[in-house]
Amino acid sequence: MEVGIQVASEDLCSEKQWNVCKAFATFVAHRELSKVKLKQTTPQTEEEKTEHSVAAERRRMRLLYADTIKDLLANCVIQDDLESRDCSCMVPAERTRVESVELVLPPHANHQGNTFGGQIMAWMENVATIAASRLCRAHPTLKTIEMFHFRGPSQVGDRLVLKAIVNNAFKHSMEVGVCVEAYRQGAETQRRHINSAFMTFVVLDADDQPRTLPWIRPQPGDGERRYREASARKKIRLDRKYIVSCKQTEMPISVPWDPSNQVYLSYNNVSSLKMLVTKDNWVLSSEINQDLDETVKPTQL
């Protein structure tokens, strides 16, 4: 099931309110060792029907996320100007690496003994912030989280090893990759990979404007892979932001994609669908089982 979360803040004196962040959390239900089949929800209002449909699209894209990134890297040219940059002004990625160990105690877990997801997320943000500060030599601000992926549970008594490193640094932002491994002292010989996430940080100046960041120099091998994947994720985020930022009167049915962008076109449909639902002059012409001559053109999405 998908649960939408909206966080707002309020000034009790002026009664002014503002939105802080928004997130979508996915849960599964277990009974003993098997998953529980859930009852389907029935949306009532038009807003609920829209969110219900878009949630299904988000799920589809989560399942295809890894393949989307892989195809994007294989078929699109990701800007890579490492060779043209001044190496003396670049910070080695290894210098930003951080590793921390946390012991899961009873206050960190629920009544079933499983570690609170929020507690793990807080620990992950801590190490990611330290890694980001090693690059910028300042106090970074968390801007977005690409995805928190809970791969498995951890229990009271587990040791959690949290690892973070700056994958790539752009002009005004940087991506930090974080992974969490669990093991039980004296009982396990191998660590269990239980969580991973990609967090984007910025550094704000006195006027709350993003500061220019130093470039990162990735390590050969896995470091270069993480470097390129971070660029791919940034490209997807910017395209999605472009769709959302368009005014209703100027909102195109589709962004003017070039052929290299076609591979991850569906990833942006989540944002565009929300805006297109307010229009009354379009119809969805792509159904999987329709005839081949009814395929969707870029201008119809």
Helices (H) and strands (E) in the chain, counts: 5, 11
88-250 to CATH, choices 3.10.129.10, 3.30.110.30, 3.40.50.970, 3.30.470.20 = 3.10.129.10
pLDDT of 121 higher than 70: yes
pLDDT at 294: 43
Q: Of the given ranges (77-81, 106-110, 149-153), which has the lowest mean pLDDT? A: 77-81
Starting at the edge strand that comes first in sequence, how are the strands of the sheet with 141-150 ordered?
A: 98-103, 158-169, 174-184, 192-202, 141-150
pLDDT of 216 higher than 70: yes
Measured distance CA(5)–CA(2) in Å, rounded: 10
Q: Tell me which amino acid residue 101 is.
A: V
Q: Of the given ranges (113-117, 123-127, 141-145, 277-281), which has the lowest mean pLDDT? A: 277-281
Region 11-19: mean pLDDT is 92
Radius of gyration of the chain measured on its C-alpha atoms? 22
The C-alpha angle with vertex 300 and arms to 299 and 301, in degrees rounded to 5, equals 100
- Top-ranked range on mean pLDDT: pick from 13-17, 76-80, 271-275: 13-17
Domain ranges of the chain: 1-75, 88-250
As given in the structure block, the two tokens for residue 105 are 């105690």
Q: What are phi and psi of 194, to 5 degrees?
A: -110, -15
Measured distance CA(72)–CA(265) in Å, rounded: 10
pLDDT at 124: 95
pLDDT at 248: 38
Q: Of the given ranges (4-13, 71-80, 112-121, 181-190), which has the lowest mean pLDDT? A: 71-80
pLDDT at 277: 55
Higher per-residue pLDDT: 172 or 245:
172
pLDDT of 73 higher than 70: yes
pLDDT of 176 higher than 90: yes
Half-sphere exposure of 39 (CA within 13 A, CB side): 3
Higher per-residue pLDDT: 287 or 204:
204
Q: Of the given ranges (1-5, 63-67, 109-113, 211-215), which has the lowest mean pLDDT? A: 63-67
**Whether the Cβ atoms of residue 301 and residue 272 lie closer than 8 Å to each other:** yes
**Whether the Cβ atoms of residue 134 and residue 178 lie closer than 8 Å to each other:** no
Higher per-residue pLDDT: 171 or 274:
171
Q: b or e along 178-201 (b: 16 or more beta carbons within 10 Å of the residue's beta carbon)?
A: bbbbbbeeeeeeeebebbbbbbbb
pLDDT of 106 higher than 90: yes
